[in-house]
Amino acid sequence: MIDNEQLQHWIDRVDTELVRYFANKDMTCNPLDRAMEYTLLAGGKRLRPLLSMVVCAAYDKDPEAAIPFALASEFLHTYSLIHDDLPCMDDDDMRRGKPTNHVVFGEANAILAGDALHCEAFQLLVSSTYPGFTAETRQTVILELCEAVGRRGMVAGQVMDLAQEGQDYDLERLKLMHRRKTGALLRFCVRLGGHLAGVREPELAALTRYAEALGLMFQVVDDLLDEESSSDTLGKTAGKDAGQDKATFPKLLGSEKAHAFADGLLEEALAALKDLEVDAELLAEIAQYVRHRDY
């Protein structure tokens, strides 16, 4: 949990709105809605919507009004988790301390739940409003999300991940894979906050540098936790990467150098924030949290 009252309040607000989103749906007769809700409400860091809200707040814009847009990123993230856990992908049976979606609802319903969450995300981006948010900016946001999750972003990263199992790889390819698979959506979330706040260059460029360092750091830490933590702490199967002979930073660099690499990325993220003209204390706190998280 993030040890900051304001940040935790915004995380709680996201959770409340996620519950409300499904409140009027009849879960007893709609297995699709139940499958969507199951993974979406199973917990999680809510880091992606939080980043968008914190950027808005940094520029004195309303973070609460950003929630509908921010939920879109959480829907996209959840869709990716459901699909990643499938037997044809990472074949995991635990996520956030609970059986994975396909274990509970079956593979077909899990696939469809992910597909539906993907569509709901774009519906939110198309239908939501924000003060000063123009049609041109909305188009930019949608195009950026398509790039973040499509064939040059998250999906491309997953393809690279599957292809790398048991293969030789170098640091540059590993970084590229995770900039796509993990980093691209986090980058989008930070830039989304910038677009909502009406931020222009070079502020947006500095936010982007922060997001790129944060996204890669998130994955390095994730790899380290998979190697060094327990399944109970992680809420998913620990040691799974090694068991599947996956490409990871600790495997390539060794644990000590992987930790040092993560520390360097934290410094990059914090350095980017120094180029902003606003108080970025909460963004810095998020970066520290990502580096030192234990799940």
Cis peptide before 63 (omega within 30 of 0): no
Closest listed residue to residue 82, CA positions, set 61, 50, 105 = 105
Question: pLDDT for 96-106, tens place per residue?
Answer: 889 999 999 99
> Looking at the 3D structure of the chain, how many domains does it have?
1
- pLDDT at residue 168, rounded to an integer: 81
| Host H or E run for residue 110 | helix 107-127
Arithmetic mean of pLDDT over the chain:
92
Looking at residue 98, its amino acid is K
Question: pLDDT for 22-81, tens place per residue?
Answer: 886 665 668 888 999 999 999 889 999 999 999 999 999 999 999 999 999 999 999 999
Looking at residue 63, its amino acid is P
85 neighbors 5 (Cβ within 8 angstroms): no
Token code pair at residue 74? 């959480």
CATH of the domain at 91: 1.10.600.10
3-state secondary structure of 98: strand
136 neighbors 195 (Cβ within 8 angstroms): no
224 neighbors 262 (Cβ within 8 angstroms): yes
- Residue-number span of the structural domain to which 249 is assigned: 5-292
- pLDDT at residue 238, rounded to an integer: 59
